[in-house]
Structure 1
Amino acid sequence: MEAGRVTDLEVKPGAGKRKVSFQFDMRAYSMIGALIVIWVFFAIMNETFLTPRNLSNLFLQMSVTSVLAIGMVLVIVSGQIDLSIGSLVGLTGGVAAVLNVWFHWSAIPVIIATIILGALIGLWQGWWVAYRAVPAFIVTLGGMLIFRGILTGMTDSQTVAPLTVDFKAIGQGYILPWFGYAMAAVGVLIMAFLTIRQRQARIKYGFEVAGMGLTSVKLIGYTVLIMGFAYVMNQYQGIPIPIIIVIVLALVFTFIAKNTVFGRQVYAIGGNTEAAVLSGINSKKRILFVFVLCNTLAAVAGLILTARVNAATVGAGNMYELDAIAACVIGGTSLMGGIGTIPGALIGGLVMASLDNGMSIMNIDSFWQLIVKGSILIIAVWFDIYSRSQKKLG
């Protein structure tokens, strides 16, 4: 039996039970292990790290990066890159603040207008990449400069604040504790239903499935995590609204990536573009839509950031594109394309946010934070390249 595999499996009734191999994502488990080590280390160094208040702040800090990483996963998986999303966060957040503060728009019209703006910018950038064959690196690098310049000119380098109460709720609001528990319970029930349904479907068609013992352990583990998260958040002020947005987006985009024709085609394009085109996939249209989705999520991130800090500034979103790329790569997304998951990117984002938060509460100088994050990014990319070379040798 190969190392790193689990054998508690069974197959379709009537075919008889047999020992088979079930492979799990070692990269994901290693990142979870690294996250636990980071949390234990900072908890030992500073007793306030694992308090409900700090954990709530930690998840709030990771919300913007997580939203960006969700969109960036699809871009990288398709074999592209987007260096403009940090500036786009600043621009869309600035537009939202201007509409809210200077033109007195209420929150709903501001949200709609900002999201439409993000989608249109994604359409523009995607058109250059997909239909004019300009490398994504160049298009988005130009976009990074253009969007920052528009933001600076539009606001005349001024801070736009304060926002209205209904707008601030997007980034500063919390849901009521009882509602948080209710949402967690519903999430557990849906997870259990989908897991059992998927298992039964695989048995029906003769595919290998994990044994009920292993499945039950996983369901219990996920239940403890979900309800534990709700409990810890409710010990402070409740689950933050930005985290609810992250969870919803993560579920939607995980479904898109794993259960739709579009998602499978994006992975195929990133894995082997020529083969994908020869198989009849319209790669240009898919790449265009990937940029639309990514930039739309950048607009959502811009709304969350602006609402959370109660202002729009010319420096908002600066270098956020690197945090998003780092979160994806740390979470197992390959810069070569074709490999990556939304949950992995969220784990990567949580690792980055944990390092930032832990080093901040320890009063470590900001330059050390940059050094550590940059070093981790290099190591993560090296690990991806090393893993690929080992697979080829194997």
Structure 2
Amino acid sequence: MVNVQISPSTSGQFEPTIAVNWLNPSVMVVVAVDLRAGSPGVGVYRSIDAGATWSTRLLPLPTGFAAMEAPHIDYIFPNSFVIVVHAFDTNGLSGTVVTYTSTDNASSFGPPVIVNRGFGQFVNDDQVIVVSDKAGSSPFFGNIYTAYTHDYNTQFVPGVTVFCNRSKDIGKTFSDPSLLSSVDESQHFPGIAITLDGILIVGWISQPPGITSFTTTTSRDGGVTFGIPTKVASVVIPPTPLPGYQFRCLTYPSMAGDTSNTLTTRGYVYAVWQDFRNGYSEVFISISTNFGVDWSTPKPIVTSPVGSQNFFPAITVSPADGAVFVSYYTNRVNPPNIDVFLATSRDGGQTFTNKRITTTSFSVAGINLIGDYIGNAIVPQTGRLVSVWTDTRTGVRNIWFDDNQ
């Protein structure tokens, strides 16, 4: 196992996600917040040799915006990638959801497309995620879905809801947003899973001061309509920052569906999140075996010592054999320093093995932001998982990569 630094050492980067071309897995693309220009921008890091070497560049800002952050990326058959970002003005306001799409394996990206526009302190769209429908059994194959938090009336009494938009033309245009969550609650990042037949499940965790719970809603018509929200579980939100640390630590679900043809697990939907119910941050999983109608009792999946802090889980499910992979930060090795570990299940989430990804622990002392997430992607032909995370072993927040063979 070799950790590879893929972003410039001279500037800070954080919040990485990764996507792989399933037809040509030599092509891997990572996006992250990149500070090399001073203001936050989005760095694009591309490999055409399966992660051995990486090129890097910044996405151009959309007209009228001063900075952007919170990028997510996904792959679309056959040679396309879509990036979604949160763009904002010089006052840090007017948060707007913007996408960039490439149809040439990320050699170039088309002009930015506005998905949902923000306005001053009154409408702020943030915490974005993008997922494309790659389920071979799906009648909505190729659809792109974005979900995000929609902050409204922030100048007065703020409210936060979850919205979702879809594109049926590889990101050229997007539908009007669908309101998914209750206006009586407040949420952080939503999660998205797509499973057999293109069934779409979006989830979120309601935040304090209200009741904290994990909720999902399901669409069976390609994101046109959504069903009645379903409670998955009560959640105990870890404090932010975590005890002993200074960085922000938001709690939200990471979700994935099994689109494989493995008889024992096909169609399963998985959700993971960090939970403080035992007095420290653990990674819990809940599983739906009926496309989001019912969910299993949550259970922890990490094997860290009691009292260890485990957080920012990212889940990926192999479309080849249904294997479940969850990467996460943990201080289990050399506290208070941080490592990245990988939990793997090959029996539908019933049992997990845990192994270390990082080759050295890294310090986060004095850092108030390490980003809010990390990322995984699968190479279906070989069952390989590739992971990216924020790492400070050089003394600067940089993006690191590992091929978990």
TM-score range, shorter chain: under 0.3
Calculate the TM-score normalised by the size of structure 2: 0.23
Calculate the TM-score normalised by the size of structure 1: 0.23
Question: Which of the pair has the greater relative contact order for Cα pairs under 8 Å at 6+ separation?
Answer: 1
Mark the structure with the bigger radius of gyration: 1
More helix by share: 1
More strand by share: 2
